[in-house]
Amino acid sequence: MSIIRSVVPSSITLTLAVAALGTAPVRAEMAAADTATAPGSDSLQEIVVTATKRSEDLQNVGLSITALTTEQLESKGVEQFFDYGNSVPNLSFAIDSADGSLAARGIALRGIQGSNTTGFYIDDIPVLETLDPHIVDVARIEVLRGPQGTLYGAESMGGTVRIITAQPTATAFSGQVHVGASDTEHGSANGIAEGDVNLPLVDNVLAVRASGFYQFDSGYFDKGLGSESAPPTSVLHGIGSMEYYGGQVALRWEPMEGLAITPRVMYQETVEDGVPYALGNADNLLQRQVFDVREGGTDKWWLDSLTINYTAPFGTFVSSTAYFDRKTFETEDDTDFTVYAFGLANPLASPITREIDLRRFVQELRFASTFSGPLQMIFGGFYSESTRPRDYEWNTPGFGAVTGSPSNLILSFIDSRKATEEAVFGDVSYDILPNLKATAGVRWFRDIATFHQFTNGAFYGFTPSTYLAPSTTESGFTPRYLLEYKVTPDFLVYASGAKGFREGGNNIALPPGPPPIGCDQDLANDHLTAAEVATFKSDNLWSYELGFKSSFAERRFTLNGAGFWIDWSNIQQQISLPLCGYGITGNSGAARSTGFELELSGRPIPELTLGLGVGYTDARITQQGAGSPQTVGSPVYNVPEITVASNVEYERHLTANWSGFTRLDYSHVSGSYSVNTQVTPLYRPAYNIGDVRLGGRNGRYEVALFVKNVTNEHANLADAVMIGAEIPGQPHFVINQPLTAGVDARVRFK
Listed residue (357, 359, 358, 338) closest to 347, CA to CA: 338
Sign (positive/negative) of CA torsion 506, 101, 76, 9?
positive
| Confidence band of 679 (pLDDT split at 50, 70, 90) | low
| Confidence band of 589 (pLDDT split at 50, 70, 90) | confident
Element counts in the chain: helices (H) and strands (E): 7, 43
For 522, the 3-state DSSP assignment is helix
- The three-state (H, E, C) secondary structure of 197-216, written as one string: EEEEEECCCEEEEEEEEEEE
Listed residue (273, 280, 274, 286) closest to 223, CA to CA: 286
Query: What pLDDT is recorded for position 678?
Result: 59
For 88, the 3-state DSSP assignment is coil
Cα separation, 335 vs 291, whole angstroms: 8
Cα separation, 256 vs 649, whole angstroms: 44
CB 141 within 8 A of CB 121: no
Cα separation, 104 vs 277, whole angstroms: 13
| Per-residue pLDDT at 7 exceeds 70 | no
Pairing, β 221-225 against β 286-289: parallel
Query: What pLDDT is recorded for position 531?
Result: 81
| Per-residue pLDDT at 13 exceeds 70 | no
Summarize pLDDT for 487-504 with one digit per residue, the tens: 999 999 999 999 998 888
| Confidence band of 627 (pLDDT split at 50, 70, 90) | low
Query: What pLDDT is recorded for position 27?
Result: 36
CB atoms within 10 A of CB 524: 10
Single-letter amino acid, residue 108 = A
CB 688 within 8 A of CB 644: no
CB 451 within 8 A of CB 469: yes
Give percent above pLDDT 90 in the chain.
74
| Burial (Cβ within 10 Å: 0-12, 13-18, ≥19) of residue 37 | buried
Mean pLDDT over the full length of the chain? 90
Which contiguous run of DSSP H or E holds residue 339? Answer: helix 335-342
Alpha-carbon torsion angle 643, 644, 645, 649, nearest 10: 180
| Per-residue pLDDT at 596 exceeds 50 | yes
Summarize pLDDT for 608-621 with one digit per residue, the tens: 999 999 999 999 99
Average pLDDT over residues 58-78: 95
Give the largest CA-CA distance in the chain: 82
CB 516 within 8 A of CB 122: no
- The per-residue b/e assignment along 298-307, b for 16 or more CB within 10 angstroms, e otherwise, is ebbbbbebeb
Which residues on neighbouring strands pair with residue 742, listed in sequence order? 182, 706
Summarize pLDDT for 647-676 with one digit per residue, the tens: 999 999 999 899 999 999 999 999 998 876
Average pLDDT over residues 166-182: 97
- The per-residue b/e assignment along 671-684, b for 16 or more CB within 10 angstroms, e otherwise, is ebbbbbbbeebbeb
Query: What pLDDT is recorded for position 6?
Result: 36
Average pLDDT over residues 300-326: 97
Cα separation, 79 vs 81, whole angstroms: 7
Give the lowest-confidence range in 197-206, 234-243, 631-640: 631-640
Fold assignment, 2-749: Maltoporin; Chain A (2.40.170)
Rg (CA), the chain: 26
| Per-residue pLDDT at 134 exceeds 90 | yes
Angle at 505 (CA atoms; ends 500, 509), nearest 5 degrees = 155
Query: What pLDDT is recorded for position 34?
Result: 37
Cα separation, 638 vs 353, whole angstroms: 27
CB 540 within 8 A of CB 501: yes
Average pLDDT over residues 521-546: 88
Phi/psi of residue 274, each to 5°? 95, 160
Listed residue (55, 62, 59) closest to 484, CA to CA: 62
| Confidence band of 631 (pLDDT split at 50, 70, 90) | confident
Average pLDDT over residues 638-652: 95
Per-position DSSP letters for 377-437, written without gaps between them: EEEEEEEEEEEEEEEEEEE-TTHHHHHT-SSSEEEEEEEEEEEEEEEEEEEEEEEEETTEE
| Burial (Cβ within 10 Å: 0-12, 13-18, ≥19) of residue 184 | buried
Give the lowest-confidence range in 35-44, 97-106, 549-558: 35-44
Which ranges constitute the DSSP H helices of 430-579? 520-525
Single-letter amino acid, residue 249 = V
Alpha-carbon torsion angle 402, 408, 411, 416, nearest 10: 180
Listed residue (454, 629, 449) closest to 536, CA to CA: 449
Q: Where are the beta strands (DSSP E) in 571-607?
A: 572-577, 582-587, 590-605
Summarize pLDDT for 409-464 with one digit per residue, the tens: 999 999 999 999 999 999 999 999 999 999 999 999 999 999 999 999 998 899 99
Per-position DSSP letters for 142-186, written without gaps between them: EEEES--HHHH-GGGSSEEEEEEEPPP-SS--EEEEEEEEEEETT
Listed residue (202, 188, 299) closest to 243, CA to CA: 299
| Confidence band of 25 (pLDDT split at 50, 70, 90) | very low
List all residues 6 or more positions away from 670 whose beta carbon is below 8 Å from its beta carbon: 640, 641, 642, 643, 686
Which residues on neighbouring strands pair with residue 541, listed in sequence order? 500, 568
| Burial (Cβ within 10 Å: 0-12, 13-18, ≥19) of residue 471 | exposed
Single-letter amino acid, residue 576 = S
Summarize pLDDT for 229-252 with one digit per residue, the tens: 899 999 999 999 999 999 999 999
| Per-residue pLDDT at 399 exceeds 90 | yes
Integer angstrom CA distances of residue 704 from 376, 396, 471, 707: 47, 50, 56, 10
Average pLDDT over residues 89-116: 89
| Per-residue pLDDT at 20 exceeds 60 | no
CB 130 within 8 A of CB 117: no
Which comes out higher in pLDDT, residue 43 or 251? 251
Pairing, β 590-605 against β 608-623: antiparallel
| Per-residue pLDDT at 538 exceeds 90 | no
Cα separation, 186 vs 502, whole angstroms: 42
Angle at 708 (CA atoms; ends 276, 688), nearest 5 degrees = 80
Cα separation, 383 vs 125, whole angstroms: 12
